[in-house]
């Protein structure tokens, strides 16, 4: 969420940012919120003045009574009563206007970083760099569910009966591989200085609207019926929420945390053949990383975060590339974002396995995450997040890139301690 003072003083910058994100329908909101803010501030000023007058008149009543001037005192009482009624009206008006301003401000997109390429959608994202050798084996690579079925490692039919489409049972070596990747990712991040955390898997609506846009909320979140609780779509939601309404000492920053959680997503919309199986699902597990830091340090942490994911995948013999997300592909709260994509030998292309985002002070402003500095006073922190690893989607890349012609799957050296020391797993069928 943009600072209302910044919008008030720089309306054309905000409007150009909206154009850069190809959200022209939101352009009238800038002038509308400026007018509403003006009315809100005027109502507040009038209320403050009336409040001061009422307090002054209330004190005068006591003085008049002490002097025996009862009639004048009663007149003052009547005046104070009328002022109280008027003040109540002004306070209600101010509250209504403030809420309308807040609602619009939460709809206007955050100011993107100048380095972000301008483009309408993800088709215009820009490749930055490739890591590892993307190769094509001299044998046919089956669809990922076929590979898993050869290991008796997946049961989609039973999952449909139990929960519907978008769910799965993982079993045997595939289930063990899934857990091994999560455990390895956890330790990988701990070794890089991040504090491990297991957060709540449900959050209140105030946290939901604090960490994401209304559009994202509608497309992703599952609501718990009859309660002010939502299932998290990623542990970033509850991890950033951990700092709601806090005043943090600048000398204690940054907070660097890595968190495990199950994730639940609606995943609305039609999906193509490449998004079947376990690619786009309603429930999965994930290791995440988040940083809360000083504003001037967020660009440095942004680069560190996506590099962590690249290094993790390369250590498991999975070639990846980084993509700079264009303006139209950025969610409204994001300042800058880089996707990490893994190579698919079967598809002969890369696909997304993680996303790193710098949200500036947008989440901190919504959730009131502040920093107290001896030199700079109080200010809002910057927040960042990135996927460490999110199986089972990541398993698609793992199985395809480590598959052998005989159907066995190599276990990279880094992962062997989490797989009982085995160097390969072999199909059952």
What's the pLDDT at 80? 67
- Going by pLDDT thresholds of 50, 70 and 90, the confidence category of residue 299 is very high
Decide if pLDDT at 123 tops 70: yes
CA–CA gap between residue 328 and residue 15 (Å, rounded): 15
Q: For residue 401, give the CATH number of its domain.
A: 3.30.930.10
Mark whether 161 and 250 lie in a shared domain. Answer: yes
Mark whether 50 and 187 lie in a shared domain. Answer: no
Q: For residue 82, give the CATH number of its domain.
A: 1.10.287.40
| Neighbouring C-beta atoms of residue 86, cutoff 10 Å | 14
Average pLDDT over every residue of 153-163:
95
Mark whether 183 and 57 lie in a shared domain. Answer: no
Mark whether 250 and 395 lie in a shared domain. Answer: yes
The verdict on residue 245 lying in a domain is: yes
Is the CB of residue 61 less than 8 Å from the CB of residue 90?
Answer: no
What's the pLDDT at 179? 97
Mark whether 83 and 201 lie in a shared domain. Answer: no
Mark whether 139 and 264 lie in a shared domain. Answer: yes
The verdict on residue 47 lying in a domain is: yes
The verdict on residue 48 lying in a domain is: yes
Decide if pLDDT at 269 tops 70: no
Mark whether 132 and 237 lie in a shared domain. Answer: yes
Q: Is 50 in a helix, a strand, or coil?
A: helix
What's the pLDDT at 360? 97
What's the pLDDT at 192? 97
What's the pLDDT at 47? 85
Average pLDDT over every residue of 65-94:
77
What's the pLDDT at 255? 98
Average pLDDT over every residue of 23-45:
94
The verdict on residue 110 lying in a domain is: no
Residue that finishes a domain, picked among 105, 139, 171: 105
User: 């009574």: which residue's tokens?
Assistant: 65
Is the CB of residue 119 less than 8 Å from the CB of residue 327?
Answer: yes
**Model pTM score:** 0.89
What's the pLDDT at 429? 79
Q: Where is pLDDT greater, at 392 or 141?
A: 141
Q: What is the number of structural domains in the chain?
A: 2
Mark whether 91 and 175 lie in a shared domain. Answer: no
Mark whether 32 and 59 lie in a shared domain. Answer: yes
The verdict on residue 115 lying in a domain is: no
Mark whether 159 and 72 lie in a shared domain. Answer: no
- Going by pLDDT thresholds of 50, 70 and 90, the confidence category of residue 380 is very high
Mark whether 318 and 391 lie in a shared domain. Answer: yes
The number of angstroms, rounded, from the C-alpha of 348 to the middle of its chain's C-alpha atoms is 30
- pLDDT tens-digit series, residues 396-421: 999 999 999 999 999 999 999 999 99
The verdict on residue 81 lying in a domain is: yes
- Going by pLDDT thresholds of 50, 70 and 90, the confidence category of residue 268 is low
Average pLDDT over every residue of 287-298:
98
What's the pLDDT at 362? 96
CB environment 112-133: b (16+ within 10 A), e (fewer):
bbeebeebeeeeebeeeeebbe
The verdict on residue 308 lying in a domain is: yes
9-23, 77-91, 214-228, 366-380 — which is least confidently predicted?
77-91
Mark whether 158 and 43 lie in a shared domain. Answer: no
Is the CB of residue 131 less than 8 Å from the CB of residue 37?
Answer: no
Residue that finishes a domain, picked among 49, 74, 105: 105
Residue that finishes a domain, picked among 105, 131, 154: 105
Is the CB of residue 182 less than 8 Å from the CB of residue 395?
Answer: no
What is the residue range of 61's domain?
4-105
- pLDDT tens-digit series, residues 323-365: 999 999 999 999 999 999 999 999 999 999 999 999 999 999 9
The verdict on residue 221 lying in a domain is: yes
- Summary mean pLDDT of the chain: 92
């Amino acid at each position: 969420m943009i600072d209302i003072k910044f919008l008030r003083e720089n309306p054309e910058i905000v409007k150009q940012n909206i154009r850069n994100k190809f959200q022209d329908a939101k352009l009238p909101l800038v002038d509308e919120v400026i007018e509403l803010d003006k009315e809100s501030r005027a109502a507040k000023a009038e209320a403050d003045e009336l409040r001061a007058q009422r307090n002054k008149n209330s004190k005068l009543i006591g003085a008049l009574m002490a002097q025996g001037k009862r009639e004048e005192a009663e007149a003052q009482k009547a005046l104070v009563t009328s002022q109280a009624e008027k003040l109540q009206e002004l306070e209600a008006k101010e509250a209504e206007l403030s809420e309308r301003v807040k609602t619009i401000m939460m709809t206007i997109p955050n100011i993107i970083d100048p380095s972000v390429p301008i483009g309408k959608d993800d088709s215009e994202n820009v490749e930055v760099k490739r890591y590892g050798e993307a190769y094509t084996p001299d044998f046919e690579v089956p669809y990922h569910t076929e590979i898993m079925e050869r290991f008796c490692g997946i049961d989609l039919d039973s999952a449909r009966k139990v929960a519907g489409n978008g769910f799965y049972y993982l079993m045997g070596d595939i289930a063990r591989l899934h857990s091994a990747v999560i455990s390895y990712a956890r330790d990988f991040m701990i070794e890089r200085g991040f504090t491990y955390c297991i957060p709540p898997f449900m959050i209140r609506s105030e946290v939901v609207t604090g960490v994401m846009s209304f559009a994202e909320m509608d497309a992703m979140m599952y609501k718990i019926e009859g309660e002010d609780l939502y299932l998290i779509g990623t542990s970033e939601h509850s991890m950033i929420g951990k700092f709601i309404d806090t005043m943090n000492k600048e000398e204690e920053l940054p907070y660097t945390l890595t968190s495990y959680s199950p994730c639940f997503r609606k995943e609305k919309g039609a999906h193509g053949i490449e998004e079947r199986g376990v690619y786009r699902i309603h429930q999965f597990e994930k290791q995440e990383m988040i940083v809360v830091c000083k504003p001037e340090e967020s660009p440095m942490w942004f680069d560190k975060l996506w590099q962590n994911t690249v290094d993790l995948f390369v250590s498991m013999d999975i070639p990846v590339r980084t993509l700079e997300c264009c303006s139209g592909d950025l969610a409204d709260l994001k300042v800058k974002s880089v996707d990490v994509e893994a190579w698919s030998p079967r598809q002969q292309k890369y696909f997304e396995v993680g996303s790193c985002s710098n949200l500036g002070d947008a989440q901190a402003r919504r959730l009131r995450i502040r920093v107290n500095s001896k030199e700079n006073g109080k200010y809002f922190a910057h927040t960042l997040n990135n996927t460490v690893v999110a199986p089972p989607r990541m398993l698609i890349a793992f199985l395809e890139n480590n598959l052998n012609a005989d159907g066995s799957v190599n276990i990279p050296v880094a992962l062997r301690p989490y797989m009982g020391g085995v160097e390969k797993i072999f199909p059952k069928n």
